[in-house]
Amino acid sequence: MLRIFTLEEAEAAEIAGIDLASAPSELVTHPRYREVAPSLFTLTGRTHLEVGSADDHLRWAGEMLRAGADCIYYSGSLDRIEYLAKEYIPVVGHVGLVPSRASWTGGFRAVGKTANEALRIHAECVALENAGAIAAEVEVIPAAVAAEISKRLTRLSLWSMGAGAGCDAQYLFAMDILNDPTNRDLSGTAHIPRHSKVYRDFSAEHARLQRERIAAFNEFRTDVESGVFPTEAHLVPIAEDELAKFRAALPPL
């Protein structure tokens, strides 16, 4: 599973045989999204901080499914998840380190390193399953804890981000796999997390492209200042007789 931000990443995921993707709504609703990623099972959503009433949320979820999403992410209450699930909206919850409610678990840190914390995560997963969720992102908890919880769930699929291989899917951000500073800016994330792995270094390529960009802009400025650009090849011609008529019709200088 990948978190993707662009059509290029969606197409690459499709060709590479990635099974699941999480994508922002503006990507899922792009008219070419399903053209480039026809089989990518795609999650989109809003956190509980970004949605309105239950009815507003239901309408929005329906719009996303019609646009091409396969399921909807939600980080909030079980009541809302149950409400959406009862209307046949496939909903994915979130347990462990949940960024939109990290203050409730002590900030941006691993969760579930004590027996009591681990039991609370298990209880959350059971509650999500009972509320009708189809899956849960399980983020930054001990792998052994995630594996034990996964064994005991009958319907809820667990998607691991930094929670080991004992879940049903491995989830990383494409921008981390690629060390891509462009999409990192889009996400607002400043660093590569410990649980991720860099497979390609796009940052070096972006640095090279920036040097080339600056050089090209400098050359353009120099050509304009020296009169080298534009040349006749870049201009729209006009017949001499038409130009003469035009000049004759102009007011005198």
Same domain, 106 and 215: no
Q: Which segment, 41-55, 197-211, 236-250, is predicted with the most confidence on average?
A: 236-250
* Residue after which a domain boundary falls, among 160, 176, 200: 200
Instruction: Give me the torsion for CA of 72, 113, 173, 179, rounded to 10°.
Output: 160
Task: Detail the DSSP E strand segments found in the chain.
Answer: 2-3, 20-22, 41-45, 71-73, 91-96, 135-139, 157-161, 169-170, 172-173
Cβ atoms within 10 Å of 228's Cβ, excluding its own: 11
- Work out the burial of residue 92: count CB atoms within 10 Å of its CB; fewer than 13 is exposed, 13-18 middle, 19 or more buried: buried
Whether 72 and 152 share a structural domain: yes
Q: Is the pTM of this model over 0.85?
A: no
> Do 18 and 129 fall into the same domain?
yes
Mean pLDDT along residues 196-204: 90
Tens digit of each residue's pLDDT (9 = 90 or more) over 104-117: 788 888 889 999 99
CA neighbor of 150 nearest in space, from 172, 169, 171: 169
> Which 3 state secondary structure label does DSSP give 171?
coil
Both 196 and 209 in a single domain?
A: no
Structure tokens at 237: 């011609």
d(CA 146, CA 160): 8
The position carrying tokens 């004992």 is: 166
pLDDT exceeds 70 at position 190: no
Selection from 35-44, 46-55, 186-195 with the highest mean pLDDT: 35-44
Which of 117, 124, 129, 139 does the annotation list as catalytic?
139
Structure confidence at residue 108 (pLDDT): 84
244 and 186 together in one domain: no
Average pLDDT over residues 76-83: 95
Same domain (yes/no): 190, 217 = no
Q: Does 139 qualify as catalytic in the annotation? A: yes
Task: Select the more confidently predicted residue: 134 or 49.
Answer: 134
* Structural domain for 31, as ranges: 2-200
Contact present, 195 and 160 (Cβ < 8 Å): no
Share of the chain above pLDDT 70, in %: 97
Please give the tally of structural domains in the chain: 2
Shared domain check, 111 and 14: yes
pLDDT, tens digit, 9 for 90 and up, residues 118-129: 999 999 999 999
| Average per-residue pLDDT for the chain | 93
Cα-atom radius of gyration of the chain, to the nearest Å? 26
Mean pLDDT (whole number) for 212-217: 97
